[in-house]
Amino acid sequence: MNMEKMMQDKAVSMYGSDLSNCSNEQIYLLLLDITKDLMANAPLIEGDRKLYYISAEFLIGKLLSNNLLNLGVYDQVRDVLAGMGKTLAEIEEIEPEPSLGNGGLGRLAACFLDSIATLELPGDGVGLNYHLGLFHQKFENRKQKELPDPWMTAQSWLNDTGKYYPVHFGNMDVEAHLKSMDVIGYTGKKNQLLLFDLDTVTEAIVESDSINFDKNDVKENLTLFLYPDDSDEVGRKLRVYQQYFLVSAGAQMILEDVKAHSWDLKNISDHVVIQINDTHPSMVIPELIRLLMENGLSLEEAVAQTEKVCAYTNHTILAEALEKWPSHFIEQVAPQLMPIIRELDAIAAKRDDNPKTRIIQNDIIHMANMDIHFSKSTNGVAKIHTDILKDTELHDFYRLYPEKFNNKTNGITFRRWLQACNPQLTKWIISKIGDGFLKDSIELEALKKYAADPECQKEVLAIKREKKEELAVFLKNRQGVEIDPNSIFDIQVKRLHEYKRQQMNLLSVINLYQEIKNGYVPEEKVTVIFGAKAAPAYILAKDIIHAILVLSDLIAKDEVASKYLQVVMVENYDVTCAEKLIPAADISEQISLASKEASGTSNMKFMLNGAVTLGTDDGANVEIHHLVGDDNIFIFGVDSDTVIKHYEKADYHPQDILAQDSKVRELVDFLVSEEMIALGDQTSLGRLHHDITTKDWFMALIDLESYMNCRKEAYAAYADQNRWAQMMINNIAAAGFFSSDRTIAQYNEEIWKLK
Ligand code: 475
């Protein structure tokens, strides 16, 4: 196809003008139109068995580059634009990033959709269409402020299917309106992302300059935000309304699909598999049972089929994330589910007399328990995580159903996280080992033999340098900050949570700052970059953001320290930002408290782009460590068994460390020093200081010394650029295992069994 002609013709038909006179916005819209047409004509992936990946989040990122890439027209579009003196990156700036996700679980769902379509497996995503997203993060007075994040525009990737499904709540009936987006795979065939919405939702009920709204008016607020504030009861109930809306409409749509194929509902498990992405969509189990019974199946038949249809993925061992709802919530929101949940609880009681595996305990419904009893599979997302589920967190269930438990180590799509975000590196890899790795990622191993080659080392260092310069331009435009591409880019980007220990990173930066003030002259300048949103009701997480922003300004104002050290916190960290930050990183910070990070996926993205991991033996870091070996990673900290024992014995007390180690004491006390308080909020900094010195639930202090030492080792290694480049190449070469194509092939072989 002649892309230039297509673009010319579109320019004439859409704007009556020549392509060369079009603005970037006009070019974006005409490319959107062309791409949507091409996708509309792409064949749907079909088979006699279909997957529904049901999830509260799909953190898909901008779609133009990705869709062009998968349609096979990326290079052509790039060349036409180049002829006009423009880049795709410039055009893509116009595209709003869909705000349909939050963190790892949501981004994983997006990578999975790409791989499912690429492997030509019939599988659709099922979720909700949030009008104002999670929130848009703004920094004001060095604090996080949350604003609505409207992302839908008149022309977008969203299509209207025109279909509606009735959803019956205890107090009202609504109509779920089905929207969809095409999900195109790398071989040009497509699945769908199916998103339910409610026409009566009114964005105008949200206060200006905040994300507050009347939480009682469900008809107007249901799909406004992802994870509405659950610090009060109406907020929690709103989440249950959202969840039931998703699963009820989703289950009806699935049954409609089954009927359209003339498949027998009594054997629905021959044709349908539902992957439940953590506990938000767990009510799909009783809802599916209810609907199957409405369609003539007995309770026993419906339960047996549902248990064979559903599979559950656990993404975290943090107790507070395992959802539990009081039964009176369900009584109000979806009373028709309660008799079924009670039946399921009774069946569970018959299968096991252990009260801990019951679904209903003291009138509280344990969603994960329901998932495990009534799904055919329960999987963790990295080897260590699955082992912890089996041995500790879900041990009672593992004893009951050993055959249900399995591991599926996470993966990432190399289309977005290498080809689209780092064309320079992609081209270099192809020049060395050919393009076979784009279809079979394990072929990256062939790069290993170039790791010690000085010419190759020079080439990867030059590419890294180019990506660092690109990031510098991006941050200057986006946020007005200037960073120095000559410095080490040491990056921690992920949701803000105490277990991820951004506060430990902060304390280590304070250490470096103080050493410089005391006369230490670092060999290399360092730019420490953070990016993180904190849940709006998570006070301590917001305190950590505040402390980072205060320290950032404090260092910037210091004439000596700022020569060697800069701290940047990226505002509104999102997928778009990640695509710029990750290719530019030298050091990938993966410093969670061992046992707490189920997998992590940015660790994989960083490694694929030639950053070296500085981290704990946690989540998928364990597998990265194993694949690259001790020489190509910086590992520190106590191991997960030690951490788990501390929790069991309740014998970790930060006071013990503070009493023994005057240096650690000094670093922690710096949080409430005059210097910090002069720029910051005493209450917020005091609260953080108080927490770290008295609770430190996620043990930042237990690893602080070994972290600081290891970080120094990494900086010293960086100074030897040849050795560093060797590590970079070894990391890229070992990253093939982490393609989501591999993960999805495993889900399919062991759980989904699609053709
Ligand atoms: C893990 N989100 C990462 C990633 O598997 C892992 C839970 C409850 C309520 C709201 N959000 C959540 C998560 O638990 C989540 O995103 N988990 C993450 O899933 C993909 O790589 O280690 O923390």
Q: Is 200 exposed, middle or buried (0-12, 13-18, 19+ CB in 10 A)?
A: middle
Distance (Å) from CA 416 to ligand 1 centroid = 20
**Euclidean distance between CA atoms 10 and 80, whole angstroms:** 14
Q: How far apart are CA 222 and CA 239, in angstroms?
A: 9
The closest-lying atom of ligand 1 relative to the alpha carbon of residue 601 is 21
Is residue 81 a part of any domain in this protein? no
Residue closest to 661 by CA, chosen among 506, 489, 507: 507
3-state DSSP of 394-438: CHHHHHHCHHHEEECCCCECHHHHHHHCCHHHHHHHHHHHCCHHH
Number of domains, the chain: 2
410 lines ligand 1 (CB under 6 A): yes
Measured in angstroms, how far is the CA atom of residue 252 from the centroid of ligand 1?
Answer: 27
Ligand 1 atom having least distance to the Cα of 108: 20
Burial label for 400, CB within 10 Å (0-12, 13-18, 19+), is middle
Given a cut of 90, whether residue 358 has pLDDT beyond it is yes
Distance (Å) from CA 754 to ligand 1 centroid: 26
DSSP string for residues in 340-368: HHHHHHHHHHHH---GGG-SEETTEEEHH
Distances (CA, A) of 737 to 634, 729, 734, 750: 20, 15, 7, 17
The token pair at 681 is 């909020």
Is the complex ipTM more than 0.90?
yes
621 lines ligand 1 (CB under 6 A): no
pLDDT tens figures, 659-689: 999 999 999 999 999 999 999 999 999 999 9
What is the enclosing helix (H) or strand (E) of 124?
A: strand 123-128
**Rounded-to-integer distance, Cα 394 and Cα 484, Å:** 47
Q: Are 588 and 611 in contact (CB under 8 A)?
A: yes
* Percent of the chain predicted with pLDDT > 70: 100
Has residue 83 been placed in a domain?
no
- Nearest Cα residue to atom 8 of ligand 1: 321
Let me know whether 346 and 495 are in one domain.
no
Is a pLDDT exceeding 90 seen at residue 83?
yes
CA of 107 to the centre of ligand 1 (A): 9
- Contacts of residue 486, Cβ cutoff 8 Å, sequence gap at least 6: 525
The pLDDT assigned to 321 comes to 83
Q: What is the mean pLDDT of residues 376-385?
A: 98
- Interatomic CA distance for residues 502 and 584, integer angstroms: 20
Q: Is 600 within 8 Å of 385 (Cβ atoms)? A: no
- Does the CB atom of residue 381 touch ligand 1 within 6 A? yes
Regarding the beta carbon of 601 and ligand 1, being less than 6 Å apart is answered yes
Burial of 710 (0-12, 13-18, 19+ CB in 10 A): buried
Question: Which residue, by CA, sits nearest to atom 3 of ligand 1?
Answer: 600
Report which ligand 1 atom has the smallest distance to the Cα of 318.
Answer: 14
Q: From the alpha carbon of 279, which atom of ligand 1 is closest?
A: 8
**Residue in 572, 546, 559, 586 with CA at minimum distance from that of residue 677:** 546
CB 105 less than 6 A from any atom of ligand 1: yes
560 shares its domain with 702: yes
Return the structure tokens found at 299: 């309770």
Pocket lining: 618 vs ligand 1, CB cutoff 6 Å = no
- 46 alpha carbon to ligand 1 midpoint, in Å? 30
Same domain for 504 and 519, yes or no, is yes
Same domain, 442 and 578: yes
Q: Is 394 in the pocket of ligand 1 (CB under 6 A)?
A: no
Q: HEC profile for 446-508?
A: HHHHHCCCHHHHHHHHHHHHHHHHHHHHHHHHHHCCCCCCCCEEEEEECCCCHHHCHHHHHHH
The tens digit of pLDDT for each residue in 439-477 reads: 999 999 999 999 999 999 999 999 999 999 999 999 999
The closest residue, in CA terms, to atom 15 on ligand 1 is 105
Centroid of ligand 1 to alpha carbon of 315 (angstroms): 5
Examine the domain organization and report whether 352 and 448 are in the same domain. Answer: no
For residues 106 and 134, membership in a common domain is answered with yes
For a pocket test of ligand 1, which of 105, 135, 371 has the largest count of ligand atoms closer than 8 A to its C-beta? 105
Most informative mutation of 108, 316, 588, 597 for ligand 1 (most atoms within 8 A of CB): 316
Based on the fold, state whether residues 496 and 363 are members of the same structural domain.
Answer: no
Q: Is the CB of 243 under 6 A from ligand 1?
A: no
CATH of the domain at 516: 3.40.50.2000
Closest-CA residue to 124 (of 195, 42, 71): 195
Question: Rounded mean pLDDT of 704-723?
Answer: 98
Residues 667 and 689 in one domain: yes
Question: Residue 169: which domain range?
Answer: 42-61+97-410+743-752
Measured in whole angstroms, the distance separating CA 297 from the mean position of its chain's CA atoms is 38
- 28: in domain: no
CA distance 428 to 414: 15
Model confidence pLDDT, tens digit, residues 487-513: 999 999 999 999 999 999 999 999 999
What backbone torsions phi and psi does residue 141 show, to the nearest 5 degrees? 55, 40
Question: pLDDT tens across 405-439, in order?
Answer: 999 999 999 999 999 999 999 999 999 999 999 99
Q: What is the pLDDT of residue 47?
A: 97
- From CA 390, how far away is CA 380, in angstroms rounded? 9
Residue 70 located in a structural domain: no
Please measure the distance between the N-terminal and C-terminal CA atoms of the chain and give it in whole angstroms. 31
CB atoms within 10 A of CB 733: 24
Give the residue, by CA position, lying nearest to ligand 1 atom 2.
105
Question: pLDDT class for 386, splitting at 50, 70, 90?
Answer: very high
Contacts of 229 (CB under 8 A, 6+ apart): 211, 215, 235, 536, 537
Q: Max Cα separation, the chain?
A: 80
Ligand 1 centre from 112 Cα, in Å?
Answer: 15
Residue 45 pLDDT greater than 90, yes or no: yes
Q: Give dist(CA 302, CA 298) in Å, integer.
A: 6
Is 184 in contact with 42 (CB distance < 8 Å)?
yes
Would the CB of 107 count as within 6 Å of ligand 1?
A: no
550 alpha carbon – ligand 1 mean position (Å): 28
Question: Which among 107, 314, 315 is the best mutation to test ligand 1's pocket, defined by most ligand atoms within 8 Å of the CB?
Answer: 315
- CB-ligand 1 contact for 318 (6 Å cutoff): no
**Residues 156-171: what's their mean pLDDT?**
97
Categorize the per-residue pLDDT at 208 as very low, low, confident or very high, splitting at 50, 70 and 90: confident
Q: Identify the residue whose C-alpha is closest to ligand 1 atom 9.
A: 321
The residue whose two tokens read 């026409």 is 199
Structure tokens at 429: 């890899």
Atom of ligand 1 nearest to the CA of 598: 22
Q: Which atom of ligand 1 is nearest to the CA of 107?
A: 20
Which residues sit opposite 44 in a β-bridge? 190
Report the 10 Å Cβ neighbour count for 2. Answer: 10
Amino acid at 32: L
d(CA 131, CA 148): 9
Residues 579-582: contacts with CB under 8 Å, at least 24 apart: 579/61, 579/416, 579/417, 579/420, 579/421, 580/421, 580/470, 580/471, 580/474, 580/475, 581/471, 581/491, 581/493, 581/529, 581/531, 582/417, 582/421, 582/491, 582/493, 582/606, 582/609, 582/611
Pocket flag, ligand 1, residue 321 (CB < 6 Å): yes
Predicted pLDDT of residue 718: 98
Residue 403 and residue 279 share a domain:
yes
- Taking 90 as the threshold, does the pLDDT of residue 12 lie above it? yes
* Residue nearest (by alpha carbon) to ligand 1 atom 4: 104
Q: Quick one: pLDDT band at residue 395, thresholds 50, 70, 90?
A: very high
**Distance from residue 66's CA to the centre of ligand 1 (Å):** 24
- The rounded mean pLDDT for the chain is 97
Tens of pLDDT, residues 221-267: 999 999 999 999 999 999 999 999 999 999 999 999 999 999 999 99
**Block residue for tokens 């189920």:** 598
In a domain, 19, yes or no: no
Same structural domain for residues 252 and 346? yes
The residues annotated as belonging to the active site are 315, 494-495, 500, 601, 605
> Which SS3 state, helix, strand or coil, does residue 86 take?
coil
Query: Does residue 529 lie in a domain region?
Result: yes
CA 532–ligand 1 middle distance (angstroms): 14
Q: What's the average model confidence in pLDDT over 366-395?
A: 98
Please report the pLDDT score of residue 376 as a whole number: 98
Cα(381) to ligand 1 centroid in Å equals 10
> Which ligand 1 atom minimizes the distance to the CA of 592?
22
Q: Is the C-beta atom of 278 inside 6 A of ligand 1?
A: yes
Pocket of ligand 1 contains residue 597 by CB under 6 Å = yes
pLDDT bracket for residue 569 (50, 70, 90): very high
Backbone angles phi, psi at 210, to 5 degrees: -160, 180
Tell me the C-alpha distance between 131 and 617, whole Å. Answer: 39
Count Cβ atoms below 10 Å from residue 452 Cβ, excluding itself.
14
In a domain, 280, yes or no: yes
Rg (CA), the chain: 26
CA–CA distance, 406 with 104 (Å, rounded to integer) = 20
Looking at the structure, tell me whether residues 190 and 274 fall in a common domain. yes
**pLDDT tens across 273-331, in order?**
999 999 999 999 999 999 999 999 999 999 999 999 999 999 999 988 889 999 999 99
Report which secondary-structure segment, H or E, holds 74: helix 74-83
Is 206:136 a contact under the CB 8 Å cutoff? no
Q: What pLDDT was estimated at residue 320? A: 81
**Strand 612-615 relative to strand 634-635: parallel, antiparallel, unpaired?**
parallel
Asked if the structure places residue 368 within a domain, the reply is yes
534 close to 545: Cβ distance less than 8 angstroms: yes
Is any ligand 1 atom within 6 A of the Cβ of residue 625? Answer: no
Q: Quote the CA–CA distance of 660 and 658 in Å, as a whole number.
A: 6
CA–centroid distance, residue 375 to ligand 1 (Å) = 20
**Ligand 1 site, residue 615, Cβ cutoff 6 A:** no
599 lines ligand 1 (CB under 6 A): yes
**Are residue 430 and residue 395 in the same domain, yes or no?**
no
What are the Cα distances from residue 16, in Å, to 2, 12, 91, 155, 204? 20, 4, 20, 18, 35
